[in-house]
């Protein structure tokens, strides 16, 4: 395997796992392999997974989304052992897309099957942290917009009042 399966990561480097970016030449190599098998009419699950794993580490959200599609397809047909990797990387991919609810759904599915999986536990904590941070940031943005609209309405009201006098 050209990639470390999730169970090999140590607990301290989950942020490194979710922020790792694929080398463009690796993405190209696995894309060529994937497309070559696609043309022949049969894509092995290994090739599909390798390509998906490269895609979800892209800096482009369109690539990550494409990788999610491949992983979702794999998770439907995967064995229990394979599913650990698929679910883990689906959570990583959705985390990278800031789709935290989906990321949580995948990592909790994995944790239901393997409650002691330290990597999954670490990733769940990271997703929770991001949701809290994003939730607060989101509320601040909404609050700021609300204030902006109210302020603007007040200014328009003043302008209208002045024009009438």
Residue 2 binned pLDDT confidence (cut-offs 50, 70, 90): very low
State the pTM of this model.
0.76
With a cut of 60, say whether residue 8 has pLDDT above it. no
Q: What is the pLDDT of residues 34-89, one digit of tens each?
A: 999 999 999 999 999 999 999 999 999 999 999 999 999 999 988 888 999 999 99
Q: Which of 134, 81, 128, 76 is closest to 107 using CA atoms?
A: 128
**Whole-number Cα distances in Å, 19 to 1, 39, 143:** 20, 32, 30
Q: Quickly count: other Cβ atoms within 10 Å of residue 4's Cβ.
A: 10
Q: Which of 119, 90, 3 is closest to 50 using CA atoms?
A: 3
State the Cα–Cα distance between residues 155 and 165, nearest whole angstrom. 16
Token digits for 13? Answer: 């480097």
Token digits for 132? Answer: 């809290």
With a cut of 70, say whether residue 158 has pLDDT above it. no
């Amino acid at each position: 395997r050209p990639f470390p399966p999730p169970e090999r990561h140590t607990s301290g480097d989950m942020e490194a796992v979710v922020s790792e970016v694929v080398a463009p030449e690796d993405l190209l190599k696995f894309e060529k392999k994937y497309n070559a098998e696609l043309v022949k009419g049969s894509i092995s699950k290994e090739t599909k997974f390798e390509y998906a794993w490269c895609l979800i580490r892209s800096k482009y959200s369109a690539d990550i989304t494409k990788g999610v599609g491949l992983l979702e397809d794999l998770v439907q047909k995967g064995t229990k052992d394979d599913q650990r990797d698929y679910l883990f990387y689906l959570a990583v991919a959705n985390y990278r897309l800031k789709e935290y609810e989906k990321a949580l759904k995948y990592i909790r599915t994995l944790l239901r099957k393997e409650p002691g999986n330290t990597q999954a536990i670490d990733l769940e904590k990271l997703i929770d942290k991001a949701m809290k941070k994003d939730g607060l940031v989101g509320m601040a943005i909404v609050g700021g917009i609300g204030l902006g609209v109210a302020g603007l309405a007040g200014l328009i009201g003043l302008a209208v009042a002045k024009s009438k006098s």
